[in-house]
Every structure is written in C-alpha cells, then in structure tokens.
Amino acid sequence: MARRLRPVELDFVESAQLRLVFAAEVAAPPKAVYAALADDVAGWSCWFTGVARSAPTHGGRGREVRLTGGTRFTETVLAAEPDEHYAYRVDTTNAPGLRALLEDWRLTPAGGGTRLRWTFAADGPAPFRFAMTLARPGLGRAFRESARALDRRLAKA
C-alpha cells in the first residue's frame, strides 16, 4: 500500500540524514543527457537499472516510477534546468522505511561529454539508514552501469 512521505524541497539534498553521491562521465553532451533525464521519462526503463516502467505526469511536473521488484513511486519534479540540473522528490511509495526521498541529478560539461552526479538524499529510521549504507556499493554499481547504458543509448540516437 502506498503511503505519503514528508514533502521536502531542494535544500534537503544538503540536510538529509542519508546522502549517497555517485558520479560518472558519459560521452554524450549535457543537452542529450538532460533530454534523456527530463524529456524522455518513459525511456528510463531502457537504461536505468531496476526501472521497469516510468511515465511523466501532470504535464511533466511529476513522474510515476515502478521498479522491477514492484516498488512504486509517485514524484514531483523540483528542478528542471536544461542541460544542468534535474531533481525530484518522492511523494508516495510502497517502499518500507522511507520518510523522505529526493534525487538530484547535476550535469557538468567534461571533455566533450558530461560529468553526471546523482545524489540520493533520504530520511528514515536508523535501521533503514543502516541498510542503505550497506547497499551503497550496489547502488554505485547500478548507477555506473546505468550511466554506461545511457551513453550507449544516446550514441545510437
């Protein structure tokens, strides 16, 4: 059953009890990477590890995401700065333990491509935070694999 999380704003990315930050470089320019993040929300399932389905809602101001294990999220887009920044918070989910979640994507030009930084900022009880800390290596690996898959996808476009 989906439950409502605490609504947070962009400053939560700095104040969250749990912050996991991952970075990778892709060959595609920021414009193409941003378009894949913000404009082609339905395409996330083609490159982001674990995403089974994603769809924009509310004219692009929201998203619905379903992970391969059945976890569901409804989200509100908080930042959509072309070629630079894309961020969203989770409003409702069926994932246990979460109290608040914001994901922040920063794009920086790098050697003809893009440096992509993903921050997973969350709040939950101590057992949740501990479990997510243990999951950090797996999330990092999934992020790097996703960045490579995105790069391959954009190279074909």
HEC profile for 111-123? Answer: CCEEEEEEEEEEE
Number of domains forming the structure of the chain? 1
pLDDT tens profile 15-62: 999 999 999 999 999 999 999 999 999 999 999 999 999 999 999 999
Return the pLDDT at 69.
Answer: 93
Is 65 inside a domain boundary? no
* 131-155 mean pLDDT: 96
Contact between 30 and 115 under an 8 Å Cβ cutoff? The reply is no
In the predicted structure, residue 1 carries a pLDDT above the cut 90? no
Return the pLDDT at 42.
Answer: 96
H or E segment and range at residue 34: helix 30-34
In the predicted structure, residue 147 carries a pLDDT above the cut 90? yes
- Quote the Cα angle for 32-150-88, to 5°: 75
Q: Residue 149 contacts by C-beta under 8 Å, 6 or more apart in sequence?
A: 46, 47, 48, 49
SS3 15: helix
- Beta-carbon count within 10 A of 27 CB: 15
In the predicted structure, residue 8 carries a pLDDT above the cut 80? yes
Q: What's the chain's average pLDDT? A: 96
pLDDT tens profile 95-133: 999 999 999 999 999 999 999 999 999 999 999 999 999
Q: Residue 15 contacts by C-beta under 8 Å, 6 or more apart in sequence?
A: none
In the predicted structure, residue 157 carries a pLDDT above the cut 90? no
Return the pLDDT at 2.
Answer: 86
Return the pLDDT at 99.
Answer: 97
Its pTM stands at: 0.95
Domain containing residue 13: CATH number: 3.30.530.20
Is 136 inside a domain boundary? yes
- What's the distance, Cα to Cα, between the start and end of the chain in Å? 38
Is 13 inside a domain boundary? yes
Is 15 inside a domain boundary? yes
Q: 32 is in which domain, residue-wise? A: 3-38+78-156
The residue length of the chain stands at 157
